[in-house]
Structure 1
Amino acid sequence: MAIRNANDTDSVSAREELSVPDPHSLGNAHVFAGLAAAVLDNRGSVVRWTEAAAELTGFTAEKVCGRPVQQLVADLPDELRSTTTIPASGRVRLWHQCGNTVDVAFRTTKVNGSAEFLVLAAPAHHVADHEHAAALLRALSSQNRITVALHDTDLTTVQTNATLGIPGGRPVQPGTRLCDVLCAEDAENLETVLRQVLETGASVVRSSLQVSWRHDPARRHALSLSAFRLEDARGRPTGVAALYIDGTDQLRARRHLELAREVAEQVGGSLDVVHTAQDLADTLVPAFGDLAAVDLATSVFDGDEPSEQLGGGDPHLRNAALAPTTAVWPPGIRLGNSIPPLSDHPLLRSSQHGQTVIYGREDIVALIGDPQSAENFLPPDAHAVMVAPLYARGLTLGNIVVWRTGRSDPFAEDEADLMRQIASRSALAIDNARRYTREHRAAVALQQRLLPPATTDTPAAETAGVYLPACDGAEISGDWYDAIALPSLRLALVAGDVVGHGIAASATMGRLRTAIQTLADLELEPDELLTRIADLVQRLAAEAPPGDHDFVGATCLYAVYDPVSCRCAMASAGHPPPVLVRPDGTAETVGIAPGPPLALSGMPYETTTIDLEPGSVLVLYTDGLIDRGADDTDDGLQRLTHALAASCRPDRALEETGRALLIDLVDEAPRDDVTLLLARTRAIPAEDTTHWEIPVDPAAVSEAREWAARQLTTWGLDDLLFTTELIISELVTNAIRYGRPPAELRLIRQNVLVCEVTDSSSTQPRLRRARTTDEGGRGLFLVAQLGARWGCRHGQNRKTIWSEQLIE
């Protein structure tokens, strides 16, 4: 009876049923090692026996050929021992020559054109391993984000699920090299990694790399590579298996997060509008685009609110920032340039309503209206531009404009969402800078209006004041200087620094300056004047809102120079000492005992008096000139002294010297106000002054008139004889009648004629209106009417009544 196969009609090869990979797929004979084969005749006897079968069972061909195959099966059921039917496939245990059994999986198939059957068998665990491996390979190959590639020892692809990088792309065929799929450099780098795995056996796990497809070199893909060596049963290398996970989307999302974080960190650190705009543009390139610009409303540069505008026309925008600044920009795009009038385009309307819009080149041409003019505003090779409005607190402050050029990717929708977030955050930073600019400008304007003229020219000295407000985010500090012309040709010099910042500090400064001017007219000694100002500051602090009391205070230096005696009396309330530059060019710090700042009352101040040669320069300043961060104040004062010795020359204007000092000593963007006052002293010539001691005798009044008449005639002031005699008569009469000896009459000639009468009484003269029947009380009234001005000052154990008349 002929043996028949249970699956005679099945034409599937045994190789496929046993899940043995296609030899053309793997290309190596070692895959079939351990696969036993036998040929049976139609009676089930073995007619051929391979070497692999002998290794599997231990029986040689001589011992097996001619015997029924059933005799080799250890667990053959009794009902099959008497039949010649052989199953098409299954699992059995075969006897081994040593007496043990071997579990095998088998498959039978009929040999075409013959009555014989081919039986293929392999150890059951080998077959299971192949089945599991094939299942795993199929599972990995079906994943969209995982690419599996098997390479032989030459790194030729033998099996892969990769496609050519585009949706629905053609699969990569077996026999392909990496250089046929990837850019040459990327292929070379990847082959280096795979060859190292093949040679060393050391696996690579999740190695990051970026590659570009050969047909699309401009677009980079982020891949995570895991590779390991393939070996046969004897441990011999047979190839490399590589798994690639495409992390481009994850990398893109991570980069978007990093860009948003960087914008949050980098933009808004400055309170300067232009600086903030430049920080924004620099952050966007090259992370988001190839070129970036920030256009702001013209009013924003000055701190004002922009006007609302819809539709075409002049957008009233000006370029505030470009990145990179080294790029070749078209002629129409330059820092400070205005944006040209635009047509009423639908995309423009969308942008004006707060939407982020993506334009193509043709949209830009349509927006500008004239193709030739549009080229002046289109960067070379630009193929896409994204415009995001800077919208904050209901105001459209300007636009962010980002271009992509060359072969870069077009803008995607998720990038438009990212730009909306960036624009929203950046708009707040720019609006904060705008609002600061407005307040800073108002504070500077107030401060400058409250300061005196930059230069003065009096008989006592010529002065030049310099004020430099704080910038780069710092508020106005209320620093001030002053040069106050006093009676008898004297000059008061003031420098002060108010505690606090902003408009409140400027307002406090204005109040203190007014108070000092008023007290200076009373001709108080410097220490007495500072004591009264300290009391005023205490009252101001008491009037301040709760919680702000500690922020009302100031430092101040007050000096009075007398050009007749060439002496200068000064006192300090916690202020840096002045610097004196002598006519020979030497500079030194004036040794002055500083008292407490003006916020503290009840503490005494001390007056220091020094002699000044004519042509000396006395320099008053605030700490912004010598304070440079961590540097010691003494070092700053030493730098100032050296700079003055080098730049303050008699033939150089004081204004020029002041500007030179600021350049040498002050940072480009000072964090504190800088105030500088330079006074070059003068002396009243001896021939322009004269004095006469007043005897304690009523007859001395006529003698004083005669003495004054002779002196005025000598000076050529005959036109002032009558009024001067009347003034001297009244002042000398009062000194004899109400004062105490000794008394003195002094005349000073300059642009005014000064008449002074000094006595040792502290009685304060008082101007009053005499009644018709009064015999006296009209003396000071006549003095006030005859002279340009009059007054009284008190010194130690004396008082001086003075009158000034203009010399025409």
Structure 2
Amino acid sequence: MASDDVLLVIDAAGVIVGWSQEARSLFERGADLAVGRPVVELLTAVWDPADAGPDRRSGRTAAVPGLAVKPVTLREGRSGWGIYLLRPEEGRGADTRGHAVLTALFTQSPIGMQVLDPDLRVLRVNTAAAGMSAVEPADVLGGRLGDVVHLSDPEETVAMLHDVLATGEPALDRLVRGRPPNDPAHEDVYSVSVFRLQDADGRVLGVSTAVVDVTVRERALAHARVLNDVRERLGHTLELDTTCRELVDVLVPAFADAAEVDLLDPVVRGEAPPPGPVGPAMPLRRMSFATVDPQRDSLGTGTGPFSFPGAWLQALTDLCPQLITYWPGETHDHHSQASRAQGPHSAIVTPMTLRNGVPGILSLYRSPGRDRFVDQDLDLALEVAARASLHVDNARRYA
């Protein structure tokens, strides 16, 4: 076998999808007994959890030479990982090679991997899993899974783990949400696969988990769904009021806890949108508002954009969306004391632009308990506002 030939291939969930003749010889298992099974489950027989973990003298996991984990492209463009045998290991048995494969996975693989005992206490975590939560592996050994990440729905996650332990049926590609201990303000999304571990006699040893951070992917999918809803639900009427109301109904609660559309007064009266920048003397009219909070009737007070005057003026001046993180007391909210105890709020103020004109402004709001807006949300807000501007202008022309 060439020194750079792949020994076996796993997908993003740690399931074996490729099995070479060399692997068949080394592990004395045919492809029919290997492909489709999680690599950790397959190698349980040659790895004793009691012996796993860092070296007691150095505190580090010993590296076993001869194996490497490298990214590979699977069918249909999916990502996977190849385990390569860097040099032949004559005179070494399957036990040693099993240790080597597991060591490579636990030190080199970017897939987060954890091994839990039947009581769901952490026996081992790999480098990637520790990196996701910025914790030292030694700090979580013997603890619960919640010590690695603060689960948003711990009861549901624990129930999934117990179900795998009881039935032996793996749970594949389940979305689990949690907040890393080093960044509790943001909720991350993980694709988690869970497999039961058992020895040759069928004794249940615990479960292994394969974790991939899919936060960016899920945010992109959520953005795509919002934009698709805007495309499908707006533009079926030429009524200005209806168009503005449909926009906020699409955005709440899918993208925001509250949304508000304010149009420049000339646009409401049927005139062409004025060119930017728009000065503070130009009146605005509130056209629509939607919220998940029935006690709140507006983002601001009265009829003007008083919640974030600086952000409004800036957005109408440079025609760029503004991202704001604020405490309720800063906006004279009569619920400020209670809200401040819950945490900061988040808002996006984005101009509605149409060619060289500015029809108005779109405001979006998120309350505590929901992830604050981030920079990646600004592009979606601007695209939604621009698409809505087309429908607003069609309604204005019709009027």
Q: CA deviation at 1:127?
A: 2.8
Relative to structure 1, the CA distance from residue 185 to residue 261 in structure 2 (aligned partners, 3 Å threshold; closer, same or farther) is closer
Match runs of 1:75-154 below 5 Å: 105=92, 124-140=93-109, 143=110, 146-154=111-119
Relative to structure 1, the CA distance from residue 231 to residue 151 in structure 2 (aligned partners, 3 Å threshold; closer, same or farther) is same
Relative to structure 1, the CA distance from residue 425 to residue 313 in structure 2 (aligned partners, 3 Å threshold; closer, same or farther) is closer
Which amino acid letter does the alignment assign opposite residue 269 of structure 1?
H
Q: Which residue, 333, 348, 354 being the options, matches 2:301? A: 333
Q: Which residue of 2 aligns with 1:223?
A: 190
Q: Which residue of 1 aligns with 2:377?
A: 415
Match runs of 1:657-736 below 5 Å: none
CA-to-aligned-CA distance 1:540-561 (integer Å, 9 cap, x gap)? xxxxxxxxxxxxxxxxxxxxxx
Match runs of 1:326-405 below 5 Å: 326-329=294-297, 332-333=300-301, 337-339=303-305, 348-361=313-326, 375=332, 383-405=345-367
Q: Which residue of 2 aligns with 1:155?
A: 120
Match runs of 1:285-304 below 5 Å: 285-304=252-271
Relative to structure 1, the CA distance from residue 125 to residue 342 in structure 2 (aligned partners, 3 Å threshold; closer, same or farther) is closer
CA-to-aligned-CA distance 1:569-615 (integer Å, 9 cap, x gap)? xxxxxxxxxxxxxxxxxxxxxxxxxxxxxxxxxxxxxxxxxxxxxxx
CA-to-aligned-CA distance 1:64-118 (integer Å, 9 cap, x gap)? xxxxxxxxxxxxxxxxxxxxxxxxxx976xxxxxxxxxxxx5xxxxxxxxxxxxx
Q: CA deviation at 1:202?
A: 1.9
Relative to structure 1, the CA distance from residue 333 to residue 378 in structure 2 (aligned partners, 3 Å threshold; closer, same or farther) is farther
Structure 2: distance between partners of 1:377 and 1:391 = 33
Question: CA RMSD for the aligned pairs?
Answer: 3.6
Query: Does residue 23 of structure 1 match 2:50?
Result: yes
The answer (yes or no) to whether the contact 2:274–2:359 under 8 Å persists in 1 is no
CA-to-aligned-CA distance 1:209-243 (integer Å, 9 cap, x gap)? 33345776664332222121222233322221111
Q: CA deviation at 1:309?
A: 6.4
Q: CA deviation at 1:393?
A: 3.6
2:52 aligned counterpart, secondary structure: helix
Relative to structure 1, the CA distance from residue 311 to residue 275 in structure 2 (aligned partners, 3 Å threshold; closer, same or farther) is closer
Q: CA deviation at 1:425?
A: 0.6
CA-to-aligned-CA distance 1:141-178 (integer Å, 9 cap, x gap)? xx1xx210001222211000333855x44445210112
Structure 1: distance between partners of 2:198 and 2:168 = 9
The answer (yes or no) to whether the contact 2:123–2:141 under 8 Å persists in 1 is yes
The answer (yes or no) to whether the contact 2:278–2:316 under 8 Å persists in 1 is no
| Greater relative contact order (Cα < 8 A, sep 6+) | 2
1:243 aligned counterpart, secondary structure: strand
Structure 1: distance between partners of 2:231 and 2:269 = 24
Relative to structure 1, the CA distance from residue 231 to residue 222 in structure 2 (aligned partners, 3 Å threshold; closer, same or farther) is same
Structure 2: distance between partners of 1:129 and 1:283 = 53
Structure 2: distance between partners of 1:148 and 1:25 = 13
1:191 aligned counterpart, secondary structure: helix
Query: Does residue 256 of structure 1 match 2:228?
Result: no
Query: Does residue 305 of structure 1 match 2:272?
Result: yes
Relative to structure 1, the CA distance from residue 313 to residue 125 in structure 2 (aligned partners, 3 Å threshold; closer, same or farther) is closer
Q: CA deviation at 1:184?
A: 6.8
The answer (yes or no) to whether the contact 1:332–1:377 under 8 Å persists in 2 is no
Structure 2: distance between partners of 1:258 and 1:434 = 27
Relative to structure 1, the CA distance from residue 303 to residue 408 in structure 2 (aligned partners, 3 Å threshold; closer, same or farther) is same
Q: Which residue, 176, 180, 193 being the options, matches 1:209? A: 176
CA-to-aligned-CA distance 1:352-398 (integer Å, 9 cap, x gap)? 33221223449x99xxxxx7xx5379996663321111111422110
Match runs of 1:17-56 below 5 Å: 23-25=50-52
The answer (yes or no) to whether the contact 1:330–1:376 under 8 Å persists in 2 is no
The answer (yes or no) to whether the contact 2:312–2:349 under 8 Å persists in 1 is no
Which amino acid letter does the alignment assign opposite residue 409 of structure 1?
D
Structure 2: distance between partners of 1:392 and 1:328 = 30
Which amino acid letter does the alignment assign opposite residue 153 of structure 1?
P
Q: CA deviation at 1:416?
A: 0.8
Match runs of 1:185-196 below 5 Å: 186-196=153-163
Gaps of 5+ in 1: 1-18, 27-89, 93-104, 106-123, 366-370, 438-808
Gaps of 5+ in 2: 1-45, 54-88
The answer (yes or no) to whether the contact 2:165–2:206 under 8 Å persists in 1 is yes
CA-to-aligned-CA distance 1:22-66 (integer Å, 9 cap, x gap)? 73537xxxxxxxxxxxxxxxxxxxxxxxxxxxxxxxxxxxxxxxx
Structure 1: distance between partners of 2:52 and 2:317 = 61
Structure 2: distance between partners of 1:396 and 1:221 = 36
Q: Which residue of 2 aligns with 1:695?
A: none
Which amino acid letter does the alignment assign opposite residue 119 of structure 2?
D
Relative to structure 1, the CA distance from residue 188 to residue 216 in structure 2 (aligned partners, 3 Å threshold; closer, same or farther) is farther
Q: Which residue of 1 aligns with 2:287?
A: 320
1:163 aligned counterpart, secondary structure: helix
Q: CA deviation at 1:327?
A: 4.2
The answer (yes or no) to whether the contact 1:299–1:306 under 8 Å persists in 2 is yes
The answer (yes or no) to whether the contact 1:163–1:169 under 8 Å persists in 2 is yes
Q: CA deviation at 1:270?
A: 1.7
Structure 1: distance between partners of 2:157 and 2:308 = 51
2:236 aligned counterpart, secondary structure: coil
Q: Which residue of 1 aligns with 2:394?
A: 432
The answer (yes or no) to whether the contact 1:148–1:244 under 8 Å persists in 2 is yes
Per mean C-alpha deviation after superposition, the further-off stretch among 382-391 and 421-430 is 382-391
The answer (yes or no) to whether the contact 1:298–1:306 under 8 Å persists in 2 is no
Q: CA deviation at 1:259?
A: 0.7
The answer (yes or no) to whether the contact 1:315–1:341 under 8 Å persists in 2 is no
The answer (yes or no) to whether the contact 2:305–2:312 under 8 Å persists in 1 is no
Which amino acid letter does the alignment assign opposite residue 383 of structure 2?
Q
Relative to structure 1, the CA distance from residue 330 to residue 349 in structure 2 (aligned partners, 3 Å threshold; closer, same or farther) is closer
Relative to structure 1, the CA distance from residue 398 to residue 20 in structure 2 (aligned partners, 3 Å threshold; closer, same or farther) is closer
The answer (yes or no) to whether the contact 1:198–1:240 under 8 Å persists in 2 is yes
Relative to structure 1, the CA distance from residue 331 to residue 349 in structure 2 (aligned partners, 3 Å threshold; closer, same or farther) is closer
2:140 aligned counterpart, secondary structure: coil
CA-to-aligned-CA distance 1:257-278 (integer Å, 9 cap, x gap)? 1111111111222211111111
Relative to structure 1, the CA distance from residue 341 to residue 307 in structure 2 (aligned partners, 3 Å threshold; closer, same or farther) is farther
Output the TM-score relative to the length of structure 1: 0.35
1:304 aligned counterpart, secondary structure: coil
CA-to-aligned-CA distance 1:499-532 (integer Å, 9 cap, x gap)? xxxxxxxxxxxxxxxxxxxxxxxxxxxxxxxxxx
Structure 2: distance between partners of 1:21 and 1:261 = 50
Which amino acid letter does the alignment assign opposite residue 126 of structure 1?
D
1:279 aligned counterpart, secondary structure: helix
Which amino acid letter does the alignment assign opposite residue 23 of structure 1?
A
Structure 2: distance between partners of 1:405 and 1:301 = 30
The answer (yes or no) to whether the contact 1:309–1:315 under 8 Å persists in 2 is no
Calculate percent identity across the aligned residue pairs.
28
